Amino acid sequence: MEMKNATGLTEFVLTGLMYQPGWQIPLFLLFLMIYLITIVGNLGLIALIWNETQLHISMYLFLGNLAFVDSWLSSTVTPKMLVNTFTKNKMISLPECMVQFFSFAVSATTECFLLATMSYDRYVAICNPLLYPVIMTNRLCMWLLFSSFVGGVLHALIHTGFLFRLTFCNYNIIHHFYCDVMPLFKISCTDPSINVLMIFIFSGSIQVFTIFIVLVSYTLVLFTILKKKSVQGIRKAFSTCGAHLLSVSLYYGPLLFMYVRPGTTQADYQDMMDSLFYTVIIPFLNPIIYSLRNKKVIDSLTKMLKRNI
């Protein structure tokens, strides 16, 4: 533990995950394997969607961008965590800390918007199949993607900007494995009440809004599916939407717990477990969930492998 009396600290110590010394090598190998599979899986999914013409529709355009954001989110957090597992110097400068948080906030927020966009796309495809090509035009798809990324950048800029009002004068130990706002609030010499309020307003609004879009879309989809008389049609619809609902449920749970109720007091260990889930585990699971539950993706992958053998 390091204590400093300087009026403004410019370096912090990331303690990383809490574990017994004997677990150092197994955890490093585990998270290294997860990270490599995450990058290969997501980038492979992007390459597959890019190369297969039958996947050049809005659903897979959104899925490819989700894979890109997952790779971005994981790469923002995991490499630094892996390095800190073995190095004794766990220092991170204030500018590096701000950049890491900004990158995390952009990717995490963009993913929220993308998940909502994908649910709307499935609503149109299943509830209005004849009008699907008319509604989900290339122009609308590009506008939705552009809005998702712009929304992510603007949201990240707001919270990163408010971080600069904080001062860190006595304590520079961040009990986390990356620079997140909640651990920074705990060591700030400045009252972070305004920052907490901004997180509650903006992060809470974004999460509630996107979850509302997802719930409404899939409620309407569910009613439409139940009206179908074709067993094959019901199975196909449930297969497509089931993967998305599983991904949404896994992603939003920890986020809501962390940021919509920022005033609650949680243990550092619980904060880290929640963060680990949506920054490392979810990007690892998403390509598996979407690939195994999607017949077109499996068929396209099989064709591509046959061509290359």
Lowest mean pLDDT among 73-87, 170-184, 218-232, 258-272: 258-272
Highest mean pLDDT among 154-163, 187-196, 271-280, 283-292: 154-163
Tokens at residue 8, please? 């403004």
pLDDT value at 237 more than 70: no
Q: Can you give the pTM of this predicted structure?
A: 0.88
**102 in a domain, yes or no?**
yes
Asked if residues 282 and 247 have their Cβ atoms less than 8 Å apart, the reply is yes
Asked if residues 179 and 14 have their Cβ atoms less than 8 Å apart, the reply is yes
Backbone φ, ψ for residue 203 (5° rounding): -65, -45
Lowest mean pLDDT among 86-95, 207-216, 267-276: 267-276
**296 in a domain, yes or no?**
yes
Q: Count up the domains in the chain and report the number.
A: 1
Q: State the average pLDDT for the chain.
A: 84
| Concatenated DSSP letters of 20-87 | -GGGHHHHHHHHHHHHHHHHHHHHHHHHHHHH-GGG-SHHHHHHHHHHHHHHHHHHHHHHHHHHHHH-
Which has the higher per-residue pLDDT, 271 or 27?
A: 27
Helices (H) and strands (E) in the chain, counts: 12, 3
**4 in a domain, yes or no?**
no
Rounded Cα distance between 159 and 149, Å, is: 16
**142 in a domain, yes or no?**
yes
pLDDT value at 239 more than 70: no
**5 in a domain, yes or no?**
no
**115 in a domain, yes or no?**
yes
Q: Residue 24 belongs to what domain range? A: 11-308
The 10s digit of each residue's pLDDT in 14-25 is: 887 776 677 888
How high is the pLDDT of residue 265?
Answer: 42
Backbone φ, ψ for residue 3 (5° rounding): -120, 135
**3 in a domain, yes or no?**
no
How high is the pLDDT of residue 175?
Answer: 86
How high is the pLDDT of residue 201?
Answer: 92
pLDDT value at 131 more than 70: yes
Instruction: Show the CA angle centred on residue 86, arms to residues 33 and 172, nearest 5°.
Output: 115
**What integer is the mean pLDDT of 58-85?**
93
**263 in a domain, yes or no?**
yes
Asked if residues 258 and 196 have their Cβ atoms less than 8 Å apart, the reply is no
What's 236's domain CATH number? 1.20.1070.10
